[in-house]
Copies of this chain bind each other. A is one copy, B any other.
Amino acid sequence: MSTLIKPNYQECIEACQKCLVDCQVCITKMAGKDSMNDCPYCCVQCVESCLACIKMLASESKWAPEYCRLCAEICDYCAEQCGAHDHDHCKACAESCRRCAEACRQVAAA
């Protein structure tokens, strides 16, 4: 990771990067499959919230904390939905969402 970004932003970017990829994997593996809850609809929203955070954090936007606050909410929702599924990709996604929510909340609160 770049040493040109402040440490808590770096951690948050890394958490968002992992979450974006795990959500994209979840969307892909769940495509065309029956689901008993909001997965992978939650992931469709979560990849976008993570991407917006990555870009706003890397650009040190004044609005980065606000994007992180929204992303934390979407990650909580996605962790809850994917966490209710037993697929490996859903469990991995839920775990990444939990960590991303935490990292985003730290930026939002700073």
Q: Which residues of A contact B (CB under 8 A)?
A: 1-5, 13, 17-18, 20-22, 24-25, 27-41, 44-45, 48-49, 51-52, 54-56, 58-61, 63, 66-67, 70, 73-74, 88-89, 92
Contact yes or no, B74 A21, CB < 8 A? no
With beta carbons under 8 angstroms apart, the residue of B39, B41, B54, B63 that contacts A49 is B63
Q: In the bound complex, how far is the Cα of B25 from the Cα of A4, in angstroms? A: 8
A89 and B30 alpha carbons, distance in the complex (Å): 19
On whether the beta carbons of B13 and A21 are closer than 8 Å, the reply is yes
Whether B52 contacts A63 by the Cβ 8 Å rule is no
Closest CB in chain B relative to A22 CB, distance in Å: 5
